[in-house]
A and B are shown apart, each in its own frame.
Chain A
Amino acid sequence: MSALLVVLEHDRGKWSEANDEALTAARQLVADMADGAELHAVLIGDGALDLAGQAGAGGAAVVHVANDAMLTDFGPEACGETVVQLAVAESVAAVMAVGTSRGNEVLAQVAARMDLPFVANCMTIAPGAGSWSMTRVQWGGSLLEDATLDSGDGPKLVTYGHHAVVAAPAAAPGAGEVREFAPTLDASLARTIVKDRDVQTAGVTLSTAPVVVSGGRGVGSAEGFAQLEELASLLGGRVGCSRAVTNLGWRNHTDQVGQTGTRIAPEIYIATGISGAIQHWVGAMASKRILAINTDAEANMVAKADYAVIADLHKVVPAITAEIKRRKGL
């Protein structure tokens, strides 16, 4: 029986939220594959065994747990090689992951090693008898591409875009049969394994903040961001910015919202002095509500927002702060 192998992620035994998306997408894909394919999952490295049950609950019939001294932390080459060996051993019909930073890198490694095509960041995938058809994202989501994937006799290699699929629990759990897998890894692959970690325990991050108050070129200076900082902190939120602002050196790139910055999903996004270029918009479009403050009524950000104030941000932002303080009795 043919199989779809889904590559799951974890950090030293901590389940990644992307896995719920991966399993949701995999259940659908396996159902669409012609010959009643079986859903296999692979978990790699230290702590993987403890998560096998969760993969089974998510619908996996078989959960491969791969271990080797080289697989303690993430290493793109060692992980990629492990997946290749497993895919060959099980002669799987396809390998799939969610297109997180690691997911795309591991699949690229698999593709390079097997010399097979790899289609990244799909929205939908239609498996076929020979080639597969898919719609994938370009421009970080600003544009869609219909594509086909033909991999000859080899497995199909694909990722779904991160957040392209809404995670849902499995209607019924899979058999979840655990199989240990010991890859044969050449010592030279240790050249790309983690030597050290430098993790800051940040509070609310930009990607998880319930409120993001952003400024664009219209803020006019680095100092101009003080008023946005004040408003954001009153709302328990974070300050964001556009790439124009990062390029001007007014803010650090860690604050940048957009295609080459951070993707945010707050309850409300307050975008001030930002024109709403498409590359900025793709980072902000998952916001539940958007308030644009802009002097230009024609700005794209205004057109796309739920609410807008057509005025100078330097007048409106302090007025909002003052009104909040008044109501809070501060």
Chain B
Amino acid sequence: MNILVCVKRVPAPGAKINVTDDGQSVDAAHLGFTTSPHEECALEEAVQIAERDGGEVTVLTLGPVEAEEQLRYAASVGAHKIILVPTDGSAWDPQRTAVALTQAIETAEAANGSAFELILFGNESADSGGFQVGVRVAHKLGRPIVNAIKGIVPGDGSVTANREIDGGFEVYEVPTPAVLGVKEGINLPRYPTMKGRLASKKAVLETAEIDAAAGGQTLVKLHRPPEQASNTEILGTDESAASAIVDILEEIGVLA
């Protein structure tokens, strides 16, 4: 089964997210970058399926040229092919992103001479969280999509996909070629091995220059939510604080 995974490069902030002076992006001057967690799991799932049943895993990203870092990382954990759609680094709205990704997918499929049987997205991107790029791409390709997937079993001409609901799962059986939006928790992504790291250096980076018109959602300004004033009461610096803690538990009625 040939599988495509769409991943997005995002900053990896720690205790606080700072915004640049112009309010257009996260100030990443002192931050590292990573792949959105749901998408990391989507990639792991694709690699596990390919290891079990054969086939190739292709990873596609749209972002600044630096997003090569996330593609090489993907290669280090098992992706066979990596494709970058380079941007100038500005944030693209969801419609524009979807148009460009669809075109890149169609180009890759034409070159392969066949459709990807499965295309995986994250349920939502970690930064902008638009909850829509995968659905838009699937619709443009005329393929089925279900989101919030935490279990995939490939079948013959279809995939069984488990969608997370409160306290359980809904089971879908989706004919291939299919598209799924994956959530963290579907698996535990592996770390790159030394062999993987070496392979990732050799992976050939394909680039696809694609532009698309801006959509109807426009970012005006990013800002931090108002800080909740906190003044922490320090109950102690050793286990003798236990008594004060249990007083509080009693007071708020959770010690029934």
A: which residues have CB within 8 A of B?
11, 73-74, 76-77, 99, 101, 104-105, 107-109, 111-113, 115-121, 133, 137-152, 159, 191-202, 205, 210-211, 235-237, 243, 246-247, 249, 252-254, 256, 259-261, 267-268, 275-279, 285, 288-289, 291-292, 297, 300, 302-311, 315-316, 318-320, 322-324, 327-328
Indicate if the CB atoms of A146 and B221 lie closer than 8 Å. Answer: yes
What A residues does B17 contact at CB under 8 A? Answer: 139, 142-143, 278
Q: How far in angstroms is the closest Cβ of chain B from A108?
A: 4
Indicate if the CB atoms of A291 and B167 lie closer than 8 Å. Answer: no
Q: How far in angstroms is the closest Cβ of chain A from B192?
A: 14
Chain B binding surface, main DSSP class: mixed
Indicate if the CB atoms of B148 and A117 lie closer than 8 Å. Answer: no
What A residues does B37 contact at CB under 8 A? Answer: 243, 260
A275 to B173, CA, bound (A): 41
Q: What are 7 A-B pairs with beta-carbon distances under 8 A?
A: A107-B132, A192-B146, A199-B168, A256-B184, A276-B15, A311-B238, A320-B246
What B residues does A112 contact at CB under 8 A? Answer: 132, 135-136, 138-140
Indicate if the CB atoms of A105 and B218 lie closer than 8 Å. Answer: no
A307 to B165, CA, bound (A): 34
In the complex, the chain B residue whose C-beta lies closest to that of A150 is B216
Task: Assess whether B217 is interfacial by the CB under 8 Å rule.
Answer: yes
Indicate if the CB atoms of A120 and B131 lie closer than 8 Å. Answer: yes
A318 to B238, CA, bound (A): 12
Indicate if the CB atoms of A145 and B222 lie closer than 8 Å. Answer: yes
Chain A binding surface, main DSSP class: mixed
Indicate if the CB atoms of B237 and A309 lie closer than 8 Å. Answer: yes
- Complex interface residues of chain B between 152 and 177 (CB less than 8 A to chain A): 162, 164-175
Task: Assess whether B245 is interfacial by the CB under 8 Å rule.
Answer: yes
Indicate if the CB atoms of A198 and B169 lie closer than 8 Å. Answer: yes
Indicate if the CB atoms of A101 and B164 lie closer than 8 Å. Answer: yes
Task: Assess whether B89 is interfacial by the CB under 8 Å rule.
Answer: no
Indicate if the CB atoms of A309 and B254 lie closer than 8 Å. Answer: no
Q: Which of the four size classes fits the interface of chain B? A: 35 or more
B: which residues have CB within 8 A of A?
13-17, 19, 26, 37-38, 93-95, 123-124, 126-132, 135-136, 138-140, 144-148, 162, 164-175, 181, 183-185, 188-189, 215-225, 228, 230, 232-243, 245-246, 248-250, 252-256
Indicate if the CB atoms of A116 and B216 lie closer than 8 Å. Answer: yes
A142 to B170, CA, bound (A): 30
Find B171's partner among A149, A195, A310, A323 (CB 8 Å cutoff): A195
Q: How far in angstroms is the closest Cβ of chain A from B106?
A: 16
Indicate if the CB atoms of A197 and B171 lie closer than 8 Å. Answer: yes
Interface centre among A11, A150, A247, A260 (most CB of B within 10 A): A260
Q: How far in angstroms is the closest Cβ of chain B from A212?
A: 11
> Top 3 A-B pairs ranked by shortest CB distance?
A117-B216, A253-B185, A199-B168
Other 5 A-B pairs with CB < 8 A, given A191-B144, A315-B239, A320-B246? A140-B126, A235-B255, A267-B254, A305-B230, A308-B232
Q: How far in angstroms is the closest Cβ of chain B from A299?
A: 8
Find B170's partner among A194, A285, A302 (CB 8 Å cutoff): A194
Indicate if the CB atoms of B233 and A308 lie closer than 8 Å. Answer: yes
Indicate if the CB atoms of A74 and B170 lie closer than 8 Å. Answer: yes
Q: How far in angstroms is the closest Cβ of chain A from B15?
A: 4
What B residues does A193 contact at CB under 8 A? Answer: 172
What A residues does B181 contact at CB under 8 A? Answer: 105
What B residues does A149 contact at CB under 8 A? Answer: 216-218
Find B222's partner among A119, A138, A243, A260 (CB 8 Å cutoff): A138
A235 to B223, CA, bound (A): 38
